């Protein structure tokens, strides 16, 4: 038996609402990827739920990884999700840390990711990646549910913590 084998499953139990929320957010926002780091019971490591566009949904429990088919029907309701609109890929200069976007576009997506994190509750974290004109430098936005840390923007490998309270 291969120790690196990944099981294909039809449910991840109590994490099913997180899977449904990320998948719905991905489709509504036009993100290329949505990820959540979700606290679990005391003594258990957080789970990482990773939902990429047209890819199997991966759930990493720390000691094992499972996949769910992207389009699988789950018997779960997502938490209330933020209003979000799809925007065209932003023009970026990753070397300069510059983003050219429609007025308010980055703030709109950052607020949506912040609200997604808040919907997941606790100290959970949400991250979404959005397409840019540079495939090597997607725009990633990360937020913690309780707002205890500022929203972080990233272009490729460069991270840019925003001012507390933004957006």
Question: Tens digit of pLDDT for each residue in 3-25?
Answer: 667 899 999 999 999 999 999 99
What pLDDT sits at residue 1? 45
Q: What is the pTM of this model?
A: 0.94
Total Cβ atoms within 10 A of residue 104: 11
Integer CA distances (angstroms), 126 to 12, 36, 39, 129, 130, in order: 18, 5, 12, 10, 13
Q: What is the C-alpha to C-alpha distance for residues 9 and 145, in angstroms, rounded to an integer?
A: 27
What pLDDT sits at residue 16? 97
What pLDDT sits at residue 145? 97
Are residues 57 and 51 in contact, defined by beta-carbon separation less than 8 angstroms?
Answer: yes
Which of the four pLDDT bands, split at 50, 70 and 90, describes residue 60? very high
Query: Which is more confident, 6 or 60?
Result: 60
- Per-residue model confidence as pLDDT tens digits over 87-144: 999 999 988 888 988 889 999 999 999 999 999 999 999 999 999 999 999 999 999 9
Q: What number is the average pLDDT over the span 49-78? A: 95
Give the containing element (helix H, strand E) for 23.
Answer: helix 16-29
What pLDDT sits at residue 113? 98
- Per-residue model confidence as pLDDT tens digits over 66-88: 999 999 999 999 899 999 999 99
């Amino acid at each position: 038996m291969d120790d690196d084998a990944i099981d294909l499953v039809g449910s991840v139990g109590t994490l099913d609402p997180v899977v449904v929320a990320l998948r719905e957010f991905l489709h509504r926002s036009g993100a290329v990827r949505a990820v959540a780091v979700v606290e679990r019971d005391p003594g258990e490591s957080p789970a990482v739920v990773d939902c990429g566009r047209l890819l199997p949904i991966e759930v990493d429990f720390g000691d094992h990884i499972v996949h769910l088919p992207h389009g699988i029907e789950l018997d779960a309701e997502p938490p209330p999700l933020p209003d979000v609109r799809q925007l065209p890929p932003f023009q970026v200069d990753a070397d300069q840390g510059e983003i050219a976007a429609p007025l308010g576009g980055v703030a709109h997506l950052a607020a949506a990711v912040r609200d997604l994190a808040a919907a997941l509750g606790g100290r959970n974290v949400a991250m979404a990646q959005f397409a840019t004109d540079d495939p090597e430098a997607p725009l990633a936005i990360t937020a913690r549910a309780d707002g205890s840390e500022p929203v972080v923007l990233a272009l490729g490998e460069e991270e840019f913590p925003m001012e507390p309270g933004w957006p």
